[in-house]
Amino acid sequence: MTAAPLRIMVTGLRGIPHVQGGVETHAAELYARLAKLGAEVTVIGRKSHRPRNIGDHWNGIRLHWLWSPGGRGFEAAIHTILAVLCAGIRRPDVLHIHAVGPSIAVPLAKILGLRVVVTHHGQDYLREKWRGPEKALIRLGELFAVRFSDALISVSSSVQAALRAQHGREATWIPNGVSAQPMPAGNALLDKYQLTRQHYVVQVSRLVPEKRQLDLIHAFRAAQLPGWKLVLVGGAPASDPYAAAVHALAAGDDSIVCTGTLAAPEAHELLAGAGAFVLPSSHEGLPIALLEAIAYGVPSLASDIPGNREIGLDAEGYFAVGDTETLAARLRTLASSADARATAVSRYAEIRSRFDWDEIAQSTIAVMESAARMPWRLRFRARVPGAAKSAISRAVAASSTRAN
């Protein structure tokens, strides 16, 4: 750390702590550690996602809640623009923006004279839930992140390689992490949902199309596991059509439990007691939920996509996206194995050692300190498509006289 505390302001996430989402879990783990390293961290959250009984400080982090529009779509971008304006007034040493959708505000941050670090959590424009205009906005956010940011972090080495190939920008690879998890002492939720420890399959994620809960329901039914249940932990807006389809498919089946959104301690209780964790996603950056299952030693299965592959399960831990027949067969194998849990605990020890949050915090603070020392600049990097460069450069030139 430098002699003076490094002042970091954070945006691009819903908020912390106990807010559902991989970016939110990442932030809660990371910034508590950066605060212990001496940084002064302010996280700007969305007021609509503020947890109950959470004040303005948590684990050494200052929390500042700003209004954001309701619903999905442009919520993240609009909230981030407001957060950047707030940062322009407060003048942190570094503004840390999470995800490529919110990175649409990076040029504004640079015009305001801020040093900007962006963490790229994955190619979110590939998520099935987004429509054409939303996908285009997120792609533009990625372009702004790679062309304007002072430092770029990628949680996935596969995304790091894609950024190098597509944009000619080198990102620093700093993965998501996993902490040693104490086994929850209570059984309140197991009792509530009539679950038998190590006799249920669990998925922890939002109910969104790319998480493919529908595939998991079909595979679970095809597996025909006597005495087992399927537990889907996660929520979505009540009007969301995909979430409605998940609930409709599960309706009337006592072996399928939909819990809705749970706070982290409750989700961890269900995760720790599971006989299997499944992540059948079509898109992931580097899934924290899978890392958390590994931390509890839960036998895990995941779709064969780059973000999941990067974690390093055994070959039989993967299946093709949408291949419910293979997933059903793998579930039957896990359910019939007397030593599946002991085997998982042994095999996952090496995986846990590669994703240590304390080492991740040290790597991140090094990137932040380097960015804070950089001279201010507002310029495009090389390899910007000509039409986009021309249009945006004109806007930048018109505004650059207002920069510090």
pLDDT by residue (tens digit) across 86-127? Answer: 999 999 999 999 999 999 999 999 999 999 999 999 998 888
Summarize pLDDT for 336-381 with one digit per residue, the tens: 998 888 888 888 888 888 999 999 999 999 999 999 998 877 665 6
Q: Is 366 left (phi over 0), alpha (psi -120 to 50) or beta?
A: alpha
The predicted model gives 23-28 an average pLDDT of 95
Q: What is the pTM of this model?
A: 0.86
Evaluate if residue 1 carries a pLDDT over 70.
Answer: no
Whether residue 236 has pLDDT greater than 90: no
What is the predicted pLDDT for the residue at 378? Answer: 67
Residue type, 292: E
Residue 284 lies in a domain: yes
Ordered DSSP codes for 15-76: -SSS-SSHHHHHHHHHHHHHHHTT-EEEEEEEGGGPPTT--SEETTEEEEEE---SSSSSHH
345 and 255 assigned to the same domain: yes
How far lies 282's CA from each of 126, 162, 327, 370, in Å? 9, 17, 14, 35
Q: Are residues 315 and 202 in the same domain?
A: yes
Q: Say yes or no: 292 and 214 in one domain.
A: yes
- Residue 396 predicted with pLDDT over 70: no
Query: What pLDDT, on the 0 to 100 scale, is given for residue 383?
Result: 53
pLDDT, position 308: 96
Decide if 54 is inside a domain: yes
Question: How many distinct structural domains can be found in the chain?
Answer: 2
Same domain, 66 and 48: yes
Residues 25, 19: Cα–Cα separation, whole Å: 7
82 and 96 together in one domain: yes
Closest C-alpha among 214, 211, 218 to residue 305:
211
pLDDT at 127: 83
Q: Is residue 183 included in any domain, yes or no? A: no
The answer to whether residues 275 and 229 touch, using CB atoms and an 8 Å cutoff, is: no
Evaluate if residue 3 carries a pLDDT over 70: no
Per-residue pLDDT at 167 exceeds 50 = yes
Q: Is 348 exposed, middle or buried (0-12, 13-18, 19+ CB in 10 A)?
A: buried
Q: Are residues 338 and 376 in the same domain?
A: no
Predicted local distance difference test score (pLDDT) of residue 390: 40
- Residue 247 domain flag: yes
Minimum mean pLDDT among 33-42, 93-102, 237-246, 273-282: which range? Answer: 237-246
Domain CATH for 204? 3.40.50.2000
As given in the structure block, the two tokens for residue 155 are: 């949680």
More confident: 339 or 11: 11
Q: Is the domain of 12 the same as that of 119? A: yes
Residues 136, 21, single domain; the answer is yes
- Are residues 27 and 94 located together in one domain of the fold? yes
Could you report the per-residue pLDDT of 189-210, keeping only the tens digit for each?
A: 999 999 999 999 999 999 999 9
Single residue among 317, 338, 353 that ends a domain in this structure: 353
In a domain, 312, yes or no: yes
Helix (H) or strand (E) holding 121: none
Query: Is 266 found in the same domain as 379?
Result: no
HEC string for 200-230 = EEEEECCCCHHHCHHHHHHHHHHHCCCCCEE
Main-chain dihedrals φ then ψ at residue 83, nearest 5 degrees: -65, -40
Does 182 reside within a domain?
no
Q: Give the mean pLDDT of 388-395.
A: 39
Query: Using an 8 Å Cβ cutoff, are 311 and 319 in contact?
Result: no
Which pLDDT band holds residue 403 (cuts at 50, 70, 90)? very low
Residue 152 clears pLDDT 90, i.e. is over it:
yes
Q: Does 1 reside within a domain? A: no
pLDDT of residue 379: 61
Q: In terms of domains, do 325 and 375 share one?
A: no
pLDDT level of residue 72 (50, 70, 90 thresholds): low
State mean pLDDT over 58-72: 89
Length of the chain: 404
Q: Is residue 37 pLDDT above 90, yes or no?
A: yes
Q: What is the mean pLDDT of residues 217-229?
A: 98
The reply to whether 379 falls in a domain is: yes
HSE of 102, CA atoms in CB hemisphere, 13 A:
31
Cα–Cα distance for residue pair 248/24, rounded to 1 Å: 29
Does the pLDDT of residue 174 top 80, yes or no? yes
Percent of the chain exceeding pLDDT 90 equals 74
From 353, 368, 387, give the residue that closes a domain: 353
Return the pLDDT at 381: 61
CA distances from 330 to 324, 348, 351 (A): 10, 18, 21
Q: Which residues span the domain enclosing 258? A: 188-353
Whether 205 and 155 map to the same domain: the answer is no
Angle, in degrees to the nearest 10, between helices 324-336 and 213-223: 50
